Amino acid sequence: MSRKPTASRPSTKPLDERELAGLRAVVTGSSSGIGRAIAVELARGGAHVLVHARASRAGAEETARAVLDFSGQCAVVFADLSTSRGCRRLIECAWRWLGGIDIWVNNAGADILTKGRWKLDFEEKLARLLDVDVRATVRLSRAVGERMRAQGLGVILNMGWDGAQSGMAGESGELFATAKAAIMGFTRSLALSLAPEVRVNCLAPGWIRTRWAETASRKWQVRVKRETPLRRWGTPEDVAKVARFLASPAAEYITGQVIGVNGGAVRF
């Protein structure tokens, strides 16, 4: 007996599978926003998660509590990733924690838009983005990738931006395009260097409702909906679900890709 197909709204329920059970994950910059959402989503999939923050103890501990709702193992490490010393400290702490890492998410990025940082001059903003978004991602990915290759497997996820491909006018567009285009290109090359043992992919979020979006002007609210076919801001959880998929065995034939998470905006 056949049934007439009926339209339905997409499910907002999380996946029930524990496809990441027992895997060990690190999410940099996971004290809030997208990083927190990814850490929690990986834990929901069964992963043990190390939470990283530069200095926000309250934020990191809040993320850790959320992770522990789903995972039996969680750790918190504080490290300044704008320095090579901070990067080395995070890697050493991560490997001592459970003897190795299976999933590494480079989410940490410099904040140049909130808490008055938008007042910094162009050179200072550029330096911060290059130090954290670019240099830290490259340092961590290369060092972690070699360790993963030695252990025979691993997944690295980096964070790009969909606007880096199409461009966006203005100072912020120039700054973020410079940093994130570098990471997107680096991801493709590193994936070739580390194959076949380690998969490397990059997420490229579009308009995501993070701290800046919460206070954005009406002009920006209108613009986002106009530019996004799905007619809404994305959420950190939207990005986290894609990260979970890319980290899972279901994505075992995907590497060297930049995946847009942007509600269908044509920016690639």
The pLDDT tens digits of the residues spanning 60-84 come to 999 999 999 998 899 999 999 999 9
Distances (CA, A) of 159 to 44, 99, 105, 183, 219: 21, 25, 8, 7, 26
User: What domains can be seen in the chain, in order of their start residue?
Assistant: 24-261 (3.40.50.720)
Average pLDDT for consecutive 10-residue bins of the chain (268 residues)?
36 66 98 97 98 97 97 95 98 97 97 78 94 98 98 98 84 92 98 98 91 78 86 93 98 97 78
Burial bucket for residue 130 (CB in 10 Å: 0-12, 13-18, 19+): middle
- Comparing CA positions, the residue from 251, 267, 48 lying closest to residue 157 is 251
pLDDT at residue number 200:
98
- Comparing CA positions, the residue from 145, 139, 12 lying closest to residue 84 is 139
The pLDDT tens digits of the residues spanning 169-179 come to 888 889 999 99
Going edge to edge, which strands form the sheet with 154-159?
74-78, 48-53, 24-27, 103-106, 154-159, 198-205, 258-261
Helix (H/G/I), strand (E/B), else coil: 234: strand
E strands present in the chain: 24-27, 48-53, 74-78, 103-106, 154-159, 198-205, 258-261
The pLDDT tens digits of the residues spanning 126-157 come to 999 999 999 999 999 999 999 999 999 999 99
- Comparing CA positions, the residue from 136, 21, 111 lying closest to residue 59 is 111
pLDDT at residue number 267:
62
Helix (H/G/I), strand (E/B), else coil: 224: helix
Distances (CA, A) of 169 to 30, 163, 176, 207: 29, 10, 11, 15
pLDDT at residue number 7:
34
